[in-house]
Structure 1
């Protein structure tokens, strides 16, 4: 993982040696996120994508308040998936006008909170139209609304399908004209569309095709809109490499597609901002998960390093967050970076389940009790996406360095 150098045999993050970070945390396990890596990813996107493309951070990828506070100064908008996330975004200083709220199960109270806060609600059902109208009338405030569309296509080669076919997300495209008419009658402040066909794709052609389809769909639906399209959220889909053989996404090819869409939007949607909603792509590679070796054992010739962290803190790295076939995340012995990998080793957590495996038969340097194991690509869907209460093990910490 070249974004993190090493010095005197130890991994460095934010200019600090791993053992010093552990001492600063006061415990293991912990997550550490690099401010410089987060900033650099935004810089790369700004330099490569068309200047008129807005960057939105999908907070569900990592809602750590300090990290959200940093991102609030780097991105153009923030997308939240609950009233709890909305509070974090507002507390971080993100302007209400630049926050959007998506999710298929918004409670009436959450919709009322969104109207009161002045954030944009991505409508995902006919019920939400009625609840927003009632909240708007009761509060005497406009209900800002866009339509999350369940498209009639999906993002090919994606890790997670968010659109196409039957889905709990959004409103089926064939029902959207009727929904738009209802929004007009209800007096909602229509602002645009949200179309998110899938995520975690490393195929630039597949992403480009999905972007083209999403744009064409939005133009078609705009003819039925009760107001001017001011925002077109084209979703994300940009993936990061996790496993052996994964190749980084060719961002320049995605940028070429977006440039064509920006040019077409001058005529088709002249008052609309085009936005990408990115979560994993912004934060995954900026984070590491660190656990300490508390035991070393052999079982029938297999070496096991037992660490004090595992699936209860980093479910995704153990393969239990959607992987069909388990693969190893990049893992290193962070206190032996200069040592030659010489031993096939499995790194396992402390939980009483065979699912608690951070590294399965990987070639690693020989490690001992007290060494620090690092799991890379851990900046997204880590702490907040893991079952912290499982078996009542101690909680982990999160550091922004």
Structure 2
């Protein structure tokens, strides 16, 4: 793992320390480089044709200030729970700008989506029957479609793979008579005008994602051909572009992904369908980082350990699946400047009261000391924005940074939780 701190991040960290944002009562903060986020969104939109609609996967970061920026910068919003739906509405997204995906929608959630005109991706035939019942009584301006599981296999992280033979998501395309049932569903319901898939996220190679999209695209065409009319007009291809957590390099890029899709599904770019994407991690992860104070250090069995304030509450996946979700960690001194010196293998642990609360195991770093800080890179998606409320640890303050390195502007994006005794 590359522990070097880029000049941009060093400048941001220096400004944060100079402003006193890390203090005794705030030993842990999140930082988002909003200029980097803006650049990524522009890159996403420039990499695809104009008829693609890009919906940000809110699960990656539901902070109101972040969703508001993403909306203002031209993205729609994909949500997968009533809480995410509410966050999207509060951030200013209107019905037509919201894509609602969930494998467990209640009647109340279906009513909310259809009443407000959100795009609704139906997960299974039982849910389809509920939508039938709703539409028998009312009308909706929503785009409505079925989610299929193309069953093309899994990637390196099983928990992130949603197109395996036994995935809980969608309608298995190769199971039993599902292909015919899908055709019958569209034939009987002219209001079914979309088709959706999502192959997986981190750990899924681009060719696997493209294979699932190809099967979905071809199914949309097959249904329209058999019906003799262009009923399906929207194809939602999900997100899933993996993020490189090993270095500062952005790889794969959105352009890389487009190149793979053009090879595997060239007609996807012909304008035959409106295409929706649902990127989350790839949009936001590399735009932010965590800064945490080293409170104590010790040596156990000849093994150095640094106890910091960043653990499972802000790096849940890394703590519980360390081999799958490794994060880069950098050592900073007590003034927030990159620390130099001989690198020594040491554990970087968190504050949670269980033994496995370690964000980096035997990581070679300049020896950490009390009062130093650590930087956890690429954490603006899923990490500090999706806290694990363990030991009742409070939400952390998050700041947005923008502008040139010599004239950085700081904005509070989220207040930290406060405690009193």
- Shared topology, TM-score over 0.5? yes
Q: Are 2:331 and 1:333 equivalent residues in the alignment?
A: yes
Are the aligned partners of 2:214 and 2:265 in contact in 1 as well (CA < 8 Å)? Answer: no
Distance 1:273 1:101, change over 3 A: same
1:1-400 superposed matches below 5 A: 5-6=6-7, 11-13=10-12, 16-18=15-17, 20=19, 22-23=21-22, 27-154=26-153, 156=155, 160-173=160-173, 174-175=177-178, 177-179=180-182, 181-182=184-185, 185=188, 189-201=191-203, 203-223=205-225, 228-243=231-246, 248-249=251-252, 251-259=254-262, 264-265=267-268, 270=272, 272-318=273-319, 320=320, 322=321, 325=323, 328-334=326-332, 335-388=336-389, 390-400=390-400
SS at match of 1:337: coil
d(CA) in 2 for partners of 1:21, 1:190: 55
Q: How many residues align?
A: 392
Contact 1:304 1:346 in 2 (8 A): yes
CA contact (8 A) 2:95 2:113 kept: no
Cα distance per residue 1:150-172 (max 9 Å; x no partner): 11313555662111312221112
Deviations 1:232-271 (A, max 9, x none): 111222111124799821543422244467862577x73x
Instruction: Check the 8 A contact 1:313/1:383 in 2, yes or no.
Output: yes
Inter-CA distance 285–247: structure 2 relative to 1 (3 Å threshold): closer
In 1, Cα distance between equivalents of 2:382 and 2:353? 23
Q: Secondary structure at the match of 1:37?
A: helix
Residue 352 of structure 1 aligns to a residue whose secondary structure is coil
* Higher mean C-alpha displacement, 335-344 vs 120-129: 335-344
More displaced 10-residue stretch of structure 1: 64-73 or 25-34: 25-34
Distance in 1 (CA, whole Å) between partners of 2:140 and 2:250 is 48
Q: Retained in 1: the 8 A contact 2:22–2:28?
A: no
Larger CA deviation: 168-177 vs 21-30: 21-30
Is the CA contact 1:239–1:281 (under 8 Å) kept in the aligned structure 2? yes
Q: Is the 8 A contact 2:210 2:264 kept in 1?
A: no
Cα contact 1:149–1:194 (8 A) shared by 2: yes
CA distance in 1, matches of 2:301, 2:164: 48
For the Cα contact (< 8 Å) 2:290–2:384, is it kept in 1? no
SS at match of 2:340: coil
Identify unmatched segments of 5+ residues in structure 1.
none
Contact 1:296 1:306 in 2 (8 A): yes
TM-superposition CA deviations, 1:333-352 (whole Å, max 9, x none)? 23231523533221111222
Give the deviation of 1:362 after TM superposition.
1.2
What RMSD, in angstroms, separates the aligned Cα atoms of the two structures? 3.2
Once the two structures are TM-superposed, the CA of residue 83 in structure 1 deviates from its matched residue by: 1.8
In 2: Cα distance, 1:142 partner to 1:24 partner? 51
Which deviates further from its counterpart, 153-162 or 326-335?
A: 153-162
TM-score after normalising by structure 2: 0.81
Distance in 2 (alpha carbons) for counterparts of 1:168 and 1:327:
22
Which range moved further: 105-114 or 218-227? 218-227
Q: Secondary structure at the match of 1:370?
A: coil
How far does the alpha carbon of each residue in 1:146-200 deviate from its partner, in whole angstroms, 9 at most, with x for none? 1111113135556621113122211122525424544664x57323111111212
Distance 1:363 1:14 in 2: 21
Greater shift, 197-206 or 351-360, is seen at 197-206
- Name the CA distance, whole Å, in 2 between partners of 1:333 and 1:2: 8
C-alpha deviation, 1:102, in angstroms = 0.6
Q: What TM-score, normalized by structure 1, do the two folds share?
A: 0.85
* TM-superposed deviation, 1:117: 1.4
- The residue matched to 1:383 in structure 2 has which SS? coil
Pick which of 279-288 and 136-145 moved more: 136-145
Structure 2 unaligned spans of 5+: 402-421
Q: Distance in 2 between matches of 1:242 and 1:266?
A: 30
The Cα shift of 1:380 comes to 1.6
Q: 1:61 to 1:266 in 2, by over 3 A?
A: closer
Structure 2 distance, partners of 1:194, 1:179, is 12
